């Protein structure tokens, strides 16, 4: 009789031990999204937001603003379901948000219900008033925030601050940087020095404010590709790994320029994410048919909100990017 009892109990014991070991592991899901001009409809006297007001040529009104929020929400809902087992991201980087209000309005949409995100944001010196922001859930504890000001002495036009947040995930320290580097206005070659300058500022800041036993995540819209010198020469080093240059990455790119997909949006991580006790589970651009459109030449692009002053009612001209890792205990 004792033997029968032991045999009946044994599968339960094995299951309990396995379940316990899995529970101790910690997954981290990180994403970044350039949400393409998420402006409210209120005039801001300190910035040039006249393009996105009800009396503008874009006719940016409450209906279009609410519709834009619902479109972005739809992307988050799909990404959460298909890439993260119905769990919302632990860390969200955003760019092209006008202010804290638009972030709060996004968090008030149904998909974000019951998600207690902390918002890290401040108005940047960008003349149009578009900023970067970072959101994180209660799984992570806040240690420090900073906003890295980019003061290029040869440029009159200010650019976006880099949002920096130091977080703790149990016993691990994670440094997160959210970027939106100067645009390619005037061409890549002519504007290249602006992004090289930002890369140097960021690299110096990382060297001074982080340590090798901490984890680092650098994400954003860099307005350069992984092969451009601002990224490959000045930012990425022996301690960093650009996920968009690895075989792990899924997708052809986050942005389509004149028919060519590439990675303007990137996630760069410290190489200790490849330690034996960490699994890199997935990474890439999140792309589904409902987020895309096909032009008359048969080319596929992200479905955007506007083309000039024409409202298309899409999502964004960029695709969101993400990566998922697991800390094994």
Q: Binning pLDDT at 50, 70 and 90, where does residue 25 land?
A: confident
- What local confidence, expressed as pLDDT, does residue 329 receive? 80
Domains and CATH numbers, the chain: 25-324 (3.60.10.10)
In this predicted structure, the answer to whether residue 14 has a pLDDT above a threshold of 90 is no
pLDDT single digits (tens) 34-63: 999 999 999 998 899 999 999 999 999 999
pLDDT in tens, 102-128: 999 999 999 999 899 999 999 999 999
Q: How confident is the model at residue 4 (pLDDT cuts 50, 70, 90)?
A: very low
- The tokens of 5 are what? 């009892």
pTM above 0.85, yes or no: yes
Give pLDDT tens digits for 218-270.
999 999 999 999 999 999 988 999 999 999 999 999 999 999 999 999 999 99
Of the candidates 193, 299, 298, 306, the one whose C-alpha atom is nearest the C-alpha of residue 256 is 299
Average pLDDT, the chain: 92
Task: Give the per-residue pLDDT at 114.
Answer: 86
Geometric angle at alpha carbon 94, from 305 and 113, rounded to 5°:
90
Residue 315 near residue 281 (C-beta atoms within 8 A): no
Could you tell me which residues are beta bridge partners of residue 249? 283
Q: What is the pLDDT of residues 68-77, one digit of tens each?
A: 999 999 999 9
CA-wise closest residue to 168 among 204, 206, 213: 213
Given this model, what pLDDT does residue 156 score?
A: 85
| CB-based contact 28:326 (threshold 8 Å) | yes
């Amino acid at each position: 009789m004792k033997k029968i009892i032991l045999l009946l109990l044994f599968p339960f014991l094995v299951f309990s031990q396995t379940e316990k070991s899995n529970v101790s592991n910690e997954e981290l899901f990180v994403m970044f999204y350039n949400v393409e001009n998420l402006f409210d409809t209120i005039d801001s006297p300190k910035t040039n937001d006249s393009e996105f007001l009800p009396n503008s040529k874009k006719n940016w009104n409450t209906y279009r603003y609410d519709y834009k929020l619902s479109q972005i929400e739809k992307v988050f809902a799909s990404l959460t379901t298909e890439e993260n087992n119905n769990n919302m991201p632990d860390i969200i980087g955003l760019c092209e948000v006008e202010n804290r209000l638009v972030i709060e309005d996004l968090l008030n949409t149904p998909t974000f219900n019951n998600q207690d995100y902390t918002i890290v944001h401040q108005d940047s010196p960008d003349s149009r008033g578009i900023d970067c922001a970072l959101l994180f859930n209660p799984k992570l504890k806040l240690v420090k925030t900073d906003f890295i000001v980019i003061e290029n002495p040869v440029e009159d036009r200010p650019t976006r601050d880099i949002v920096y947040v130091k977080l703790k995930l149990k016993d691990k320290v994670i440094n997160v940087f959210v970027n939106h580097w100067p645009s390619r206005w005037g061409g890549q070659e002519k504007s290249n020095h602006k992004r090289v300058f930002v890369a140097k500022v960021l690299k110096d800041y990382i060297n001074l404010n982080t340590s090798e036993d901490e984890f680092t995540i650098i994400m954003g819209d860099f307005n350069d590709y992984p092969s451009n010198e601002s990224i490959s020469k000045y930012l990425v080093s022996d301690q960093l790994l650009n996920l968009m240059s690895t075989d792990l990455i899924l997708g052809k790119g986050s942005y389509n320029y004149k028919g060519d997909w590439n990675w303007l949006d990137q996630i760069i991580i410290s190489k200790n994410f490849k330690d034996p006790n960490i699994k890199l589970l997935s990474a890439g651009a999140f792309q589904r048919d409902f987020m895309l459109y096909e032009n008359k030449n048969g080319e596929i692009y992200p479905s955007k909100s506007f083309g000039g002053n024409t409202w298309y009612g899409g999502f964004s001209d960029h695709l969101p990017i993400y990566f998922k890792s697991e800390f094994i205990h």
